[in-house]
Structure 1
Amino acid sequence: MNVLVYNGPGVSKTSLSHTISTLKTLLLPNYTVQTITPLSLASDPWTATCALLVLPGGRDLPYVASLAQSNALISSFVRNGGSFLGLCAGAYYACRRLEWEVGSEQEVSGDRPLNFFHGVGRGCVYPGFQYESENGARAVSLLVSDILTGKEEQLNGLYYNGGGEFLEAKNVPNAKILAEYTNGDAAGKVAGVCCSVGNGVAVLWAVHPEYPLTLEPALSAITNTRPDIKDCIAQLEEQRWRLMRESLRLLGLKLPVPSNVKTLQPLPQIFTSTPELAPAIATMVESLLQDTVESEPIILKDRTNTFYFHRTAYSPDLVDRIQISQETGPTDVDDMVRHIIVLDGGSIPPVDATPAFNISQYYMDLNAAQREKGIFSDRRQKMVPLLSLATHQLNGRGRGSNTWLSPPGCLQFSLLLRLPLSHFPASKLVFIQYLFGLAVVEACQSASVLGTFGENVRLKWPNDIYVVTEHGAAKIGGILVNTSFMAGSVDVIVGCGLNVLSPSPLTSLYQIIPTGHNDTELSMERTAAAIMATFDEMWSKFLSSRGSFEPFIDLYLRKWLHSDQLVKLTTVDPPIMVRIAGITMDHGLLRTMPETRNYFSHRGDDYIDLQPDGNSFDLMAGLIKAKT
C-alpha cells in the first residue's frame, strides 16, 4: 500500500522533505512513501492502493487552484474509508472555512471544498508571520490528549510558523480534540483535531510535527524563542516521534515494530557454492581477480564501487571487523565498500551466520527440486548462474522511479545470467521477465511450497505477482530485468522480490494458507529452491528454442489476470475502451482490440499493441495511461 504526499503548487519544500523523511522512518517497510502531483491526483487510479493521503505545509491559495480537479476524488476517497493527514496549510485546506490574517494585507478567507473539519480554521495564533521567512517561527508547547484514554501530556518545542486554530472544535460534532496550545497568545486554542469523515478519518495539525527538532529550521526556532528547553532537545524529539506515531495509528496505519533510527550498513556478501560446483566457482573468481594485487583483502575497483574480497574461511571475528570498518566509513550507501567473503571448496558458513536463510538447507532443497524435474549435475555445470540473496535491501528498485521495499519475510534476490548474442536474438530478451514471472507462479503452486493453496497466485502483466483472494487481488511480488551488452554477449540481471512470510498489513504466501492447515510448512529456502529449479527447467527450453515464447504462451495466459479484460486506453486521443487479447510473439507487446467499431491504428491495423516501457498500467483498475 502507498502513502502519497502531495507535491505541487503551494507546497513548502522544507515541509515536503521533512514529511517524507518522517513518514519513511516510521512506516517503512510496511508502506511505500512517495509523492503525487496534481495531475496524477486528478487522473490516475491512486485510490485503490492508497493507505494515506498527506497534504503538507505551504500556502493554501495555490492548493485551491491546483486541487480543483481532484477535490471530489479526495473527498470520496476519505469518505469511503480512506485516511487524510493535513499539516499547517494542509490542515487549513481541509476545514469547512478558512479565515487567515483577516483584516491584514495578507488576508486569505473563504470556504474550502473538502470540509473534513466541519468548522473554521483561523490564524495566525501567534503574531509576526512573514512569507518565505522565519521571522514568525517559534517553538510552541501543546497539551496533547489521548482521545482513547483521556491521558494528557505536555509537549514542548514543536515547530510553528503561520499555523492557526480549529475554532470551537469542542462544538464540532465530527471532531475530537488532540491538542491545545499552552503558551503565549494562543493558550487554550485547539492545535490538532481528529475528524471522522464518513467511513474514513482525517487528522489535522496546525503546527509542524513533521519537523525534526534536531535540524533546521526547528533548531533555530527553539534557540530564538525557547532557549530554556535547548538542553532537552533529545528528549523532546522522542516526544515528537511519539506524537507522529500516535497520529498515524489514529489514521489506521499499522506501524512496523519500532527500532532505533540509524543508518543501515551493508553486511558482507558470502560467496559460496555446492561442492560439485566449487571448481567452476574457483575459476570464475580467479578470472575476476586476475589483474589485482594479491593482498588481504584483495581490492577490486570499478567506476562506481570498491570491492574487498576476503578469500578465507568464515570467521565471526572477520565479520565483526568488517562491520566496524563500515560504521566508521562513509555514511552514503553508494560510497560504502562492498565486502565479499569467498568460501572456496564448497564450504558453507554456519547456520548462525545467516539466521534469516539457511544456506545448507537451501542447497538440499534445491537438489531435491532439481532431481524431481530431472535436472542432473552434468547439465547444471554447463551454466553456473550467480544468485544473490538479501535479507534487507538498502537501495531496492522497481520499474521506473519506483522503489522496492524490503519487508520482513520477503524473499528478495538477483540472478545473473550471461548469454552469447550469436545464439540468442536480442529482440527476445523482453520475454525473460515473462518467463521468470511464470516460473515464480508455477513454483508457488508446487507441492514443496503451497500446493493447491497456490492456485490463486497469478501474473499481472508485465512484471508483477498477485494473489487473488475473496477480498480482491493484492500484489505479493515483482520482477525487474536489467541487461548490459558487451563483447558479443549480454549480461541479464533478474531481480525479484516475493512476500513469503511477511506479516500483515502486507499480503504474502503465508496468508494464503487457510487457518488450521498447519501441515503446510512454508519456508524461504524451499520457496527459493522451487523457483530456481522451475526456472532452470524453463530456461533450458527457452534457450533451445532461441528465445521463442511459443512453448510457454498457453500456460502464461492461463496464469495471468487479463484474458479478455476490458480496459480504458488513454494513450490515444480520444481515449477508447479496448479488450486485452494476448501478447505478441515477436516483441512481447500487449495486444489489445478496440471495442469501437471500425477503429484502426495509425498504421491501419485493427488492433493496438502496447509496450511495457511506453505506458503506465493499472490493469487492476481498468486503465492504461500514457507515462508522464
Structure 2
Amino acid sequence: MNILVYSGEGASRTSLAHTVRTLKGLVGHHYDVMKIDSAGLAQEPWEESTALLVIPGGRDLPYTRDLKGAANDRIKAYVQAGGRFWGICAGAYYASARVVFEVGTPLEVQGERDLQFFGGESRGVVYPGFVYDSELGANAVAIQLDQKSFPGLGFDETRVYFNGGGFFVNALNTPGTKVLACYSNSNGEENHHEPNKAAMIVCEVGKGLALLTGVHPEYDAAHLDAGNPEYGPSPNIVSRLLEQDQKRIQLMRSLLTNLGLKLTVPEVASSAEQLDQTSLPVLPPGAILGIPDLTPLYLASIHPQLTEGLERTLKSLSSAEGLIKEANDTFQLIPSPDASVPVHTSTLSETPEGDTEEKIIKNIVICKNSAGPSPNLTPQFVMGQFFDHLAKVRASGPHQDLSFGNSLMYGEVVTSTQTMLDKNFGLCQRLPDGFVCNATIQVAGRGRGRNSWISPPGCLQFSMVLRHPFQARHASAVFIQYLVALAVVESVCSLPGYEDVPLRLKWPNDIYAEAPLEEGAVHEDPSKPKMIKIGGVLVNSNFSGSEFLLVIGCGVNTTNPNPTTSINHLIRYHNKMTGKDLGLFTQETLLAHIVVKFEQMYKTFVGGNFTGFGQFEQTYYRRWLHQDAIVTLTTMTPHRRVRVQGITLDYGLLRTIALDDQGQDIPGEELRLQPDGNSFDMLKGLISTKA
C-alpha cells in the first residue's frame, strides 16, 4: 500500500521534506511513501492502493486552482469510501468548508472550498507575524491534547512547530468532528491567544477519516537550522522544540495509529510472523523513533590487490582533501577502518525537479584485507563471510572464471544503493564490472516509475554495475531485468531440496511468493493461492562508447516478516508442511548465490549459442504466474480482454491474443505490450499504464 503526499504547486518544499521523512520513519516499513501531483490525482488509478493521502503545508490558493474538478472529485470519493486524509496547515485550510486568512492585510484570502471535510470555517493565522517563504512567523506553540483521544500517552501538552496555521471555528459543535487538541493557554497573552481554539481535529467523512492540523507535528526540529536568526536568540524556537521532540514523535505515532496505519516498530507480530522475529536484526540508533542517520560505507574485495586498484581509482577522482564531488553525492575517502571517521552535517538542497532533499557527505572507508571491517562495525552484514560464501558457491558450479561480486561496498544505513551508483556517473563508469553496493536499510530506496522500495531490516537490497556490449544484438539489454529476477528465484529453487519453495515471477521483473497460511486456515480456491510481492528489480541504463553502462537494483525480503513475507519465512513454513529441515539464508549467503547465478546466466545469455534469452525462455515460463492468464487491457479504448501467451524474444514484449465475447481466441489479433510503462495488476486481471 502507498502513502501519497501532494507535491504540486503550492506545497512548501520544506513541509514536503519533513512530511515524507517523518512518514518514512514511522510507517515506512509497511507503506511506500510517494509524492504525487495534480495530474496524478486526476488521472492515475491511485485510490485502491492508497492507505493515506496527505496535503502538506504551503499555499492554499494553488491547491484550489490545480485540484479543482476531477482531482477534488476523486479525493472526496476516496475518503467517502473509507480512505484516510491528512491536511497540514494550508492542507487543513483547503479541506475546510471555508477559509478566512489574514483579513485586512495584503495576504488576505477568503472563500469557499470544495473538499469540505470539516463543515466549518478554518480561520488564521492564530499567532501574528506570518510571512510567506520565511521563518519570521514560526513558533514553538503548546497544544493541549484531548486525553480521551490519546489514552496512555502519558502527557496532555506538548510543543510543535507552527507557521501560519489556523484554528477550526466552533469545531466542538460541528457534526462529525472531534477535537484532538487546542492551542494552549500556556502560549501566553503576547500571542493574543483565546482559549478553546481547535488546533487539531478529525472528521468523519462517509466511511473515511480526515485529520486536519493547523500546526505541524510532522516537523523534526533536528532538521531545522538552529542558527537561522529568524528563529530568535538562543534558547530559540528550535531549542524549545527539541526539548519536547520525543513527545512530538509519540503524538505522531498516536495520530497515525488512529488513522488505522501500521507503525514500523514496536508492534505485535501475528502468530504466522512469530517464526521470523528472532532473525530480525537490531535497528541502529534512531530507527525506532525516526529515520536513522547514515552510516559509513565500507569498501572491500575478495582479493586485497583488487581493493588497492580501487583505492587508486578513487584517489584519482578525489581532491586534496580526499573528497570525490559527483553529480548527486559527495564522498569522503577514509584510508582504513582504524582511521577517524568525520561526522558531516546534512543540508537541504533543491533538486532539478524542484523538490527539497537532504544532502550529506558520505564516508567511504577503505578495507585493505579481504575480511573487510570487523564484524563489530558491520554486525548486520559481515563482508568477510560474503566473500567466503562467494568462493564456495563458485566452486560448486560449472563456471570457474567468475568475477561479479569480487568488490563490494556496504553501508548499514544508506540513502539508496541505486542512486549512489546511477546518479554519480563519473564514479560509476570507473568501477569494475560486477561491482556490488548493498545496504541493510535504505532511507530513499528506488523502484520502477515513481515507486520507492520499502526497505525494512532483513530485506536484502543491492545494486550492481554491469557493462553490456552494444554489439550483442542477439542479447538485448531489455532482458537484463528478466535475467536478474529469474536469477533470484533460481538461486533458491535450483538448490537441492529447495525446488518446491513457492517463489514465482510476475511480468516483467517482480518476485512473488505464495503466501503462507495462518494456523488452521485454508485457501478459498486451492487452484489460486494468494500471491504477494517479496522483491523487485530496477535497471537504469547509460550509453557509454560501445557499451551500455547498466546499474541493476534488486530488493528481496530475506529474513523480515514485514511488510509482506520473506524467503526464510517461506522456508520455515515449507519445512513445517513437509517435515524437511532446509537451512535458512543469511544476507551474506543469499547475495552470494544470487550474484553467482546471475553471472552464470549472463555469460550464457551473451555468449552461448547466440539465441539470447531464448535459452531461458522455458525456465522463465516455468517460474512465472501468467501462462494463459486472461486479463483486461485498460491501455486501450475500449478496453480489450486478452489471453497472455508469452514474451517476444527480440525486445521482451508481452505477447497476448485478443478474445471475443465468448472468451475464445481471435486468430491473428496478437497484441504486444512493453515491459516499461505498463503495470500488471494480477488480483484484478488488469494491465494498465504504469503510475
TM-score > 0.5, shorter chain as reference: yes
Judging changes above 3 Å, is the alpha-carbon distance between structure 1 residues 209 and 546 closer, same or farther for their aligned structure 2 residues?
same
**Structure 1 contact 125–165 (Cα < 8 Å) conserved:** no
Q: Give the whole-Å Cα distance in 2 for the aligned partners of 1:520 and 1:355.
A: 24
Corresponding residue number in structure 2 for 1:550: 614
Matches within 5 A, 1:85-484: 85-95=86-96, 97-98=97-98, 100=100, 106=108, 108-110=110-112, 112-113=114-115, 115=117, 117=118, 119-124=119-124, 126=126, 132=132, 139-146=140-147, 147-149=149-151, 152-156=155-159, 158-165=161-168, 167-169=170-172, 172=175, 174-183=176-185, 184-197=192-205, 200-212=208-220, 215=224, 223=232, 232-251=240-259, 252-256=261-265, 257-258=287-288, 263-271=293-301, 273=302, 278=303, 282=305, 286=309, 289=312, 308=333, 318-322=336-340, 324-325=341-342, 327=344, 335-336=361-362, 338-343=364-369, 351-359=375-383, 361-362=385-386, 365-366=389-390, 369=393, 374-375=397-398, 377=400, 379-380=401-402, 385-393=434-442, 396-418=445-467, 424-425=472-473, 428-446=476-494, 452=500, 454-455=501-502, 457-469=503-515, 472-483=530-541
Unaligned runs of 5+ in 2: 186-191, 266-286, 349-357, 407-433, 516-522, 524-528, 662-667
Determine the structure 1 residue equivalent to 2:270: none
Q: Shift of residue 564 of structure 1? A: 4.0
Whole-angstrom CA distance in 1 between matches of 2:242 and 2:470: 59
Matched, 1:84 2:81: no
Which residue does 1:523 correspond to in 2? 585
How well do the aligned residues superpose, as a CA RMSD in angstroms?
4.5
Is this contact kept in 2: 1:387–1:415, CA < 8 A? Answer: yes
Counterpart-to-counterpart distance in 1, 2:72 and 2:23: 23
Partner of 2:567: 509
Q: Which amino acid counterpart does residue 481 of structure 1 have in structure 2? A: V
Call closer, same or farther: CA 1:194–1:286 in 2, change over 3 Å: closer
SS in 1 for 2:69: coil
Number of paired residues? 591
Amino-acid identity (%): 34
Secondary structure of 1:563's partner? coil
Alignment partners' CA distance in 1, 2:622 and 2:468: 29
Q: Counterparts in 2 of 1:607-622, with a 5 A limit?
A: 607-613=670-676, 615-620=677-682
Report the Cα offset of residue 341 of structure 1: 1.7
Offset, 1:458: 2.1
Please give the secondary structure, in 2, of the residue aligned with 1:140: strand
* Deviates further, 67-76 or 498-507: 67-76
Q: CA deviation at 1:502?
A: 2.1
What amino acid sits opposite 2:598 in the alignment? Answer: F
Deviation at 1:440, TM superposition (A): 1.0
Q: SS at the partner of 1:248?
A: helix
**Aligned equivalents of 1:553 and 1:31: distance in 2?**
34
Q: What runs of 5+ residues in structure 1 fail to find an aligned partner?
A: 311-317, 598-604
Q: CA deviation at 1:179?
A: 0.6
**Secondary structure in 1 aligned to 2:255?**
helix
Determine which structure has more spread, i.e. the larger CA radius of gyration. Answer: 1
Cα distance in 2 for residues equivalent to 1:93 and 1:495: 39
Q: Whose RCO is larger (CA < 8 A, sep 6+)?
A: 2
Distance 1:111 1:492 in 2: 48
Report the CA distance between 1:36 and its aligned residue: 0.8
Q: Is the 8 A contact 1:450 1:522 kept in 2?
A: no
Contact in 1 for aligned 2:449/2:690 (Cα 8 Å) = no
Q: How far apart are residue 437 of structure 1 and its match?
A: 0.7
Cα 1:128/1:376, change in 2 over 3 Å: closer
Letter in 2 for 1:539: Y
Matched, 1:535 2:591: no
1:382 to 1:124, Cα distance in 2 relative to 1, 3 A = closer
Structure 1: distance between partners of 2:374 and 2:101: 67
Against the structure 1 CA distance between its residues 166 and 514, is the aligned structure 2 distance closer, same or farther, given a 3 Å change threshold? farther
Note if contact 2:307-2:368 (Cα within 8 Å) is conserved in structure 1: no
Q: Structure 1 stretch 155-164 or stretch 362-371: which is displaced more?
A: 362-371
Q: TM-score, normalised by structure 2?
A: 0.71
The structure richer in helix per residue is: 1
- TM-score using structure 1 length: 0.77
**Residue in structure 1 matched with residue 70 of structure 2 by the alignment:** 69
TM-superposed CA distance for 1:249, in Å, is: 2.6
Change (3 A) 1:291 1:107: closer
Specify whether residues 80 and 440 from structure 1 end up closer, same or farther in structure 2 by C-alpha distance, changes over 3 A only.
farther
Q: 1:187 to 1:329 in 2, by over 3 A?
A: closer
Cα gap change, 1:282 to 1:156, in 2 (>3 Å):
closer
Deviations 1:414-472 (A, max 9, x none): 334455556x33752211211121121223435579653x31x2222222222343695
Cα distance in 1 for partners of 2:671, 2:205 equals 43
Partner Cα distance (2:457, 2:4) in 1: 22
1:138-177 CA-to-partner distances (Å, cap 9, x unmatched) read 55331013424275522245304141215243663x4443
Instruction: State the secondary structure of the residue aligned to 1:481.
Output: strand
